[in-house]
Structure 1
Amino acid sequence: MRQFLAFVIKEFYHVFRDPKSMLMLFGMPIMLILLFGFALSNEIKNSKIVICDFAHDPASQRIIDKIEASKNFEIKKFLYNPRQIEQAFKEGNVKLVIVIPNHFNDDLLHLNKAQIQVIADASDPNTANTLTNYVTNIVMDYQQEITPSNDLPQKINTEIRMIYNPELKGTTNFVPGVMALVLLLVCVLMTSVSIVKEKEKGTMEVLLVSPMHPLMVVISKAVPYLFLSIVNLSVILLLSIFLLKMPINGSIGLLFFESSLLILTALSLGLLISNGAQSQQQAMLISLMGMLIPVLLFTGFMFPLENMPLPLQIIANVVPSKWYYIIVKSIMIKGLGLSAIWKETLILLGMTVFLLSVSINKFKIRLG
């Protein structure tokens, strides 16, 4: 029994002396609890909305005050021209537009009924449904508030209009997210083992003494995966169009260009991992564990980014799939062109140049 206890104590010493084991035992549970309990939530908060108040009367102002007081909404701006509504959605940040028509208060007083129009961006159907329900509840709350003061009940009808995805198909949110997930993970994973595989097999020395410049060695590792990933993208799009009935309302050429840019970003990141890894197993572990969780959490198709604390929203900006997800939804669902997504395109281009430069810099021309 004493020998058994001695072995148990020895194992405790092994665990306590290994920082990685301690991190896995205590760090990961704490991190997951904080993420899923505090940072990640299906409740939608601080969604940017636009209000078109054509009435400018006490009733419309009271409803606007209630919306402003809600933690679910953040009023981005007020519009006074209905032609500006479409442009507000094209800018990409607005989830909802609330239109209060002329004579709203007069209709309530004299006709005992009035109407409010709610226009939602249904490219994410779950978010659109949730936000319209929030607005409907606020309007109903105001309706109950004014009813006791009148002999006749006053009714406010909420007309809901879903744009970009009136049928509320889940594929409009699912397909762009899966495209970002698959392309990024597969490209990073495949290229992350390319250089370290040569080191393990002992063939890297042959490559380094060849007449080819080390820069060309690095780039040659990425080119095959670039073409294979474009084929993979074509298969994904064909399945999405013919099997899942996913529309492509924008330019297919622009979609392939933006997807190729994400592929280049992922390949550059994979080469960087491959340069620093000591073995194929280590490279694969870094690629899977280091990319899977950030892509799932910070792309925006599983958890709304605006719900997260500010530090996590800042971290999300360095995840390439976040920008690609915005680009794909803008092209496929909204039918927008380069003029609407040039900022996201420049960010992906900057990431590609930075990662590729660091990869080439870190590439060792001498094996030690």
Structure 2
Amino acid sequence: MKLFIGFIKKEFYHILRDRRSLFILFGMPIVQILLFGFAITNEINNVNIAILDHSKDVTTQNIINKISASKYFSVNQFIQKEQDIESVFKKGKTKAVISFQNDFNQNLVKNGHATIQIITDATDPNTANTISNYVNAIIQSHVKEMNKGINIEYQIIPETHMVYNPELKSVFMFVPGIMTVILMLVSAMMTSISITREKELGTMEVILVSPLKPIQVIAGKVIPYIALSVINATVIIILSIFIFKMPIQGSLILLGFESILFIITALALGILISTVSATQQTAMMISLMGLMLPVIILSGFIFPISSMPVPLQFISNIIPAKWFIIIIKAIMLKGVGFSFIWKETLILLVMTLFFIGLSIKKYKIRLE
């Protein structure tokens, strides 16, 4: 036991002396969560739109003023004819054109309806759809104001209530995903080079001739990173709360327990990569390229898993990050207890034991 504790201390000292490792462990996650947290958003603000007003009456002007007064849109151009729409879009600065038909107010008074055409730049489909929905909502609000005091015999008025995220802040969706990606990649990347570094430095022979068993070597490599990754996770959670105003509706203790379990899962996966890699460069390539795309694409971080083809949905089940994102969103946003997330927790635990067991099996007690 004394030898094992000494081995753990040696690993701690080695990490603390390596400034590059400390930067990757603590510097990169802080920079990444700040960049991703502010940069990744599906909200729109001050989007440039153009107006094509064939009518130029009081009603169209009121609608234009209402759209322009919102924080979502900025009217940057008035165009005179439909042929100009394509050239406006080609410049790339305008994302939508709102076109009012001829005699807009007259048709509204005489026929009870008038036409507004919303033309959006759909090179970015999500943004185009969001712009269309926002403009429609502003127009519907204006129509309600116009019909105030008028008794309409039949009305169907849907009332929408957003649960857990009433303000529809995209940061509430992205921060848990960013936290998952950072912990997964950084933890796996750091441990993936731990054993390969010993091989390249020529110190692996010393470990092999020591009385330490394979499980002790692997545990000794993982334990220091667990402690450091827990500090990392704590910093990320603090930044999420105080900078992005991320709520934590559930238990902090449960969140901490689940985070430690996921960290151990990521570290175990990194150790597995380290045992099967011959060089640090190979280990880094596997941990970065082999994990980054699956974690980002197949974890549900950005794209809903239910919208993916069935084969990809099946593959996503072997991505640990998928289960942790479900857990962390449930705790932070929904405030659920362990009884609601025990299945996901069990899956992570089984994955951890599998990675550790496979690492022990792949650990070579002789150099080739």
Q: Does 1:333 align with 2:333?
A: yes
Aligned to 2:74: none
- Cα drift, residue 153 of structure 1: 6.7
Aligned to 1:303: 303
SS in 1 for 2:264: helix
Q: Which amino acid aligns with 1:301?
A: F
Q: Which amino acid aligns with 1:215?
A: I
SS in 1 for 2:162: strand
| TM-score of the superposed pair, with normalisation by structure 2 | 0.59
Which residues of 2 match residues 58-77 of structure 1 at below 5 A? Answer: none
Structure 2: gaps spanning 5 or more residues? 1-41, 43-125, 141-151
- Cα drift, residue 318 of structure 1: 0.3
- Cα drift, residue 214 of structure 1: 2.2
Aligned to 1:315: 315
Name the stretch that deviates more: 283-292 or 214-223.
214-223
Q: Which amino acid aligns with 2:196?
A: V
- Cα drift, residue 327 of structure 1: 0.2
What CA distance in whole angstroms lies between the structure 2 residues aligned with 1:301 and 1:358?
27
What CA distance in whole angstroms lies between the structure 1 residues aligned with 2:231 and 2:198?
25
Which residues of 2 match residues 1-368 of structure 1 at below 5 A? Answer: 154-368=154-368
What CA distance in whole angstroms lies between the structure 2 residues aligned with 1:266 and 1:323?
12
Q: Which amino acid aligns with 1:163?
A: V
- Cα drift, residue 301 of structure 1: 2.2
Q: Which amino acid aligns with 1:321?
A: A
What CA distance in whole angstroms lies between the structure 2 residues aligned with 1:300 and 1:210?
44
- Cα drift, residue 157 of structure 1: 0.7
Aligned to 1:108: none
Q: Which amino acid aligns with 2:221?
A: K
Once the two structures are superposed, what CA deviation does each residue of 1:122-143 show, in whole Å capped at 9, x if it has no partner?
xxxx9xx98xx7xx99xx9xxx
What CA distance in whole angstroms lies between the structure 2 residues aligned with 1:207 and 1:301?
40
Q: Which amino acid aligns with 2:361?
A: N
Aligned to 1:15: none
SS in 2 for 1:160: coil
SS in 1 for 2:365: coil
Q: Which amino acid aligns with 1:333?
A: L
Structure 1: gaps spanning 5 or more residues? 1-41, 43-125, 141-151
SS in 2 for 1:157: coil
Q: Which amino acid aligns with 2:355?
A: L
Q: Which amino acid aligns with 2:321?
A: S
SS in 1 for 2:334: coil
Once the two structures are superposed, what CA deviation does each residue of 1:208-263 show, in whole Å capped at 9, x if it has no partner?
11122222111101111111100000000110111111010100010011011111
- Cα drift, residue 154 of structure 1: 3.4
What CA distance in whole angstroms lies between the structure 1 residues aligned with 2:309 and 2:168?
28
What CA distance in whole angstroms lies between the structure 2 residues aligned with 1:159 and 1:351?
43
Q: Which amino acid aligns with 2:276?
A: G
What CA distance in whole angstroms lies between the structure 2 residues aligned with 1:153 and 1:276?
73
Moved over 3 A (4+): none
Count how many residue pairs are aligned between Structure 1 and Structure 2: 225
Name the stretch that deviates more: 257-266 or 167-176.
167-176
Once the two structures are superposed, what CA deviation does each residue of 1:245-297 show, in whole Å capped at 9, x if it has no partner?
10101000100110111111111110110011111001000000000000110
SS in 1 for 2:158: strand
Q: Which amino acid aligns with 2:280?
A: Q
| TM-score of the superposed pair, with normalisation by structure 1 | 0.59
Once the two structures are superposed, what CA deviation does each residue of 1:88-113 show, in whole Å capped at 9, x if it has no partner?
xxxxxxxxxxxxxxxxxxxxxxxxxx
SS in 1 for 2:301: coil
Q: Which amino acid aligns with 1:300?
A: G
Cα-Cα RMSD = 2.1
Once the two structures are superposed, what CA deviation does each residue of 1:11-64 show, in whole Å capped at 9, x if it has no partner?
xxxxxxxxxxxxxxxxxxxxxxxxxxxxxxx9xxxxxxxxxxxxxxxxxxxxxx
- Cα drift, residue 358 of structure 1: 0.2
Once the two structures are superposed, what CA deviation does each residue of 1:294-314 show, in whole Å capped at 9, x if it has no partner?
011011121111111100000
Q: Which amino acid aligns with 1:286?
A: I
Give me the identity figure in percent: 56
SS in 2 for 1:358: helix
Once the two structures are superposed, what CA deviation does each residue of 1:116-171 show, in whole Å capped at 9, x if it has no partner?
xxxxxxxxxx9xx98xx7xx99xx9xxxxxxxxxxx87321111101111111122
